[in-house]
Amino acid sequence: MAEEAAVEEQPKPAKSGTMSKMLLIALLALLSSSAGGFVSFVLISRTINREAKATAKEETGEKEKIAEMLEKSAVLPLEPFVVNLADKEAARYLRIKISLLVDDKTKAKELTENQVLQLKVRDVILQSLTAKTSEELIHEEGKNKLRDEIREKIEMYFNQPKLVDVMFTEFVIQL
């Protein structure tokens, strides 16, 4: 019986050794995975930070360009327009104030004194406005299309200074 007890005691230490080896392997796997995750986190964080800094620099550069352009620019306000729209079902009216942004403040006085230019610009704008319906202009998309259309049609009359933008300072549709 003593031999049987000795035989039974020998397998127990073998199980304990196997368990400790498996526990060690699991612990090493956990540490390895954690280390890999940490390294990945650090590398990805650095990449994201670099991209964010590059984007911030681009935005700052764009803001500076816009600010510089606005300092050098001038606004040429036009008299308000009140026009009949092209609606067939009912008489609809549009009251709109338009201002033109030009790129050279020093030549703005010449523009305000140039009656031929002012009359031609008003004529082109009136043609564009009276061709529109209230349905076309009621939404933001229609207003943006009108702004682009006016800019395209009148920018050929601006050599010095150049036309930069067409701005609507009042926009009222009578429905």
Best CA proximity match to 77, nearest among 145, 174, 173, 169: 169
Write out pLDDT tens, residues 18-54.
888 888 888 888 888 888 888 878 878 787 877 777 7
Distance between CA atoms of residues 75 and 121, nearest Å: 14
pLDDT of residue 80: 95
Instruction: Specify the residue for token string 């995975």.
Output: 33
Which tens digits make up the pLDDT trace of 65-112?
767 766 778 888 999 999 999 999 999 999 999 999 998 888 878 888
CATH code: domain 73-174 is: 3.30.479.30
| Segment 146-175, tens digit of pLDDT | 999 999 999 998 888 889 899 999 999 988
Helices then strands, each counted (H, E), the chain: 6, 4
CA 72 – CA 53 distance, rounded (Å): 29
Burial class for 109, CB neighbours closer than 10 Å (0-12, 13-18, 19+): exposed
Confidence of residue 125 (pLDDT cuts 50, 70, 90): very high
Question: Which among 3-7, 55-59, 106-110, 129-133 has the top mean pLDDT?
Answer: 129-133
Q: With beta carbons less than 8 A apart as the criterion, state whether 84 and 91 touch.
A: yes
**Which value, in Å, is the radius of gyration of the alpha carbons in the chain?**
37
pTM: 0.61
What is the reported pLDDT for 12?
52
- On whether the CB atoms of residues 161 and 103 are closer than 8 A, the answer is yes
Q: What is the dihedral angle through the alpha carbons of 44, 45, 47, 53, rounded to the nearest 10 degrees?
A: 160
- For the chain, give every domain's residue range: 2-71, 73-174
